[in-house]
Amino acid sequence: MNQLTLTRPDDWHLHFRDDQFLLETVPATARCFGRAIVMPNLVPPVVNAEQALAYKQRIHQATPTDSNFEPLMTLYLTNRTSGNDIIEAKQAGIPAAKLYPAGATTNSDAAVKGIEALYPVFEVMSEQGMLLLIHGEVTDAHIDIFDREKEFIDTHLAQIHQRFPALKIVFEHITTADAADFVLDSATTMAATITPQHLLYNRNDLLVGGIRPHNYCLPVLKRNTHQQRLRDVVASGSNKFFLGTDSAPHTQHAKETACGCAGCYSAWSAIELYAQIFDDLGALDKLEGFAAHHGADYYGLARNNDTITLVNEPWTVPEIIDLPQGGHIVPFYAGQELQWKLA
């Protein structure tokens, strides 16, 4: 196969950051995606409709003039979030809110402590038809970092899903067989996003031969058996799983310091990375559903009405991306060859 035409895909989980990063991250995403769910973990976080709409305007200002790209905004849940915050956000066209357990990832220090305290908010979200997006890890110090996701399922997620059966939940950037099987075994109000890094890599790619900071993300890469289970479920074509890159830019300096930041920046090669994965799995016929149909259907949105075309033409991911106002990003998969390229 030399060419592949798909319904224009969407990215159902990414980080644009703010300020000068927008001049890089927004065009990179808009080149192939029609929409994207924009994560709200800025400093300070996006906690209400007014802040979300202001952030959306900044994103629009960075969007290429010839693009119809549409950012889909989210709220950052805290222990101060109220039912009125949810109602106002829903009325403003904000489709989802994000639950970060405190300390789980970048800029999550202001996040939720004591998840049960948010149950009244979840009730309002369920009534309003607002999706709950969950970074599913516990952060208790005694829990091994490789067990955080399973512990969250057992301690919190199963209970939330049972308590609020009408609440649509997206288990974000899943990394384990436990998460994949939990989603498959749950009701239709449970779905999940899967990143390219968790499909392409396992923890050997982070730790063997020295620590590789540009492969460091949270949730952290897991063992190869978990990676293989994620590859199996996307190859199956199940509509419970869809594209979410978790693309998250950090400068090269910030990634390569003694305490490097978590996040892989994949926006400039995102759809090509997924095409490589599905091709390697012999499942290119399942790529369109994963990238362009399942997420839109789950969110209750129309599928995009235009297409993109990928050509079978090897190219190399850049080693470095220059930021507009100085500094560099080392992208995910830097210096490596991909077989599919956006036409």
The amino acid at 318: P
- The verdict on whether residue 280 carries a ligand-binding annotation is no
In 3-state terms, what secondary structure has residue 298? helix
- The verdict on whether residue 13 carries a ligand-binding annotation is yes
For residue 188, what are the contacts with CB-CB under 8 A and spacing of at least 6?
Answer: none
- The verdict on whether residue 161 carries a ligand-binding annotation is no
- The verdict on whether residue 181 carries a ligand-binding annotation is no
- The verdict on whether residue 290 carries a ligand-binding annotation is no
Q: CA-CA-CA-CA torsion for 143, 246, 162, 185, nearest 10 degrees?
A: -90
Query: Which H or E element spans position 334?
Result: none
- The verdict on whether residue 17 carries a ligand-binding annotation is yes
Name the strands in the sheet holding 96-99, side by side, starting at the edge strand that comes first in the sequence.
Answer: 74-76, 96-99, 131-134, 169-171, 190-194, 241-243
For residues 275 and 42, the answer to whether their CB atoms sit within 8 Å is: no
- The verdict on whether residue 15 carries a ligand-binding annotation is yes
Query: Which H or E element spans position 338?
Result: strand 337-342
Q: Is 246 a catalytic site residue?
A: yes
- The verdict on whether residue 246 carries a ligand-binding annotation is yes
Strand partners, 190: 169
Rg (CA), the chain: 19
- The verdict on whether residue 218 carries a ligand-binding annotation is yes
Q: What secondary structure does DSSP assign to 125-192, as a single string?
A: HHHHTPEEEE------TTS-GGGHHHHHIIIIIHHHHHH-TTS-EEETT--SHHHHHHHHHS-TTEEE
- The verdict on whether residue 332 carries a ligand-binding annotation is no
- The verdict on whether residue 52 carries a ligand-binding annotation is no
Cα gap 177→295, rounded to integer Å = 20
- The verdict on whether residue 214 carries a ligand-binding annotation is no
Query: Of 85, 246, 306, 322, which one is the catalytic site residue?
Result: 246
Q: Can you say which residues are annotated as belonging to the binding site for substrate? A: 15-17, 41, 135, 218, 250, 262
Q: Can you say which residues are annotated as belonging to the binding site? A: 13, 15-17, 41, 98, 135, 173, 218, 246, 250, 262
Q: Can you say which residues are annotated as belonging to the binding site for Zn(2+)? A: 13, 15, 98, 135, 173, 246
Catalytic residues: 246
